[in-house]
Amino acid sequence: MLIPLLTLYVLAAAPGGAELPSDDFARSYHVWVSVYDGRCGYNMTDATENAKQLQHSLRNPVYDKSAGMELLIDERTPPRCVDEARRAVSRAGFKKIRVRRGTNSDRGGGPFD
């Protein structure tokens, strides 16, 4: 109990108040990584792209590269597709990249989900 209180005190006393950790992904973009007919596919919207198309799309200045990128996978995602996605995202200018298992809440929450 003492440690969490001490941590809160230190954060509150720090200049500028508490800051989010540098690895915070609250504003990050998501790419679903999957495989179709043996080919890696990447989805940020309803369109599936290959690695070259993904890299090209992410170079658009509309994307805030400092927000980070999450590569969403499931139990069927091949490691080669994750590696390919990581390279494409990195080459597009993203520095904060993490891989995690995607959930239903990552799917958009539309009226028919």
Q: Is domain 20-104 given the CATH code 1.10.287 in the classification?
A: no
What angle (nearest 5°) sits at the alpha carbon of residue 21, between those of residues 44 and 97? 30
Could you state, in chain order, the average pLDDT of each consecutive group of 10 residues for the chain (113 residues)? Answer: 38 41 77 94 93 97 94 95 98 96 77 43
At 10 the pLDDT is 37
Residue ranges per domain, the chain? 20-104
Contact between 28 and 67 under an 8 Å Cβ cutoff? The reply is: yes
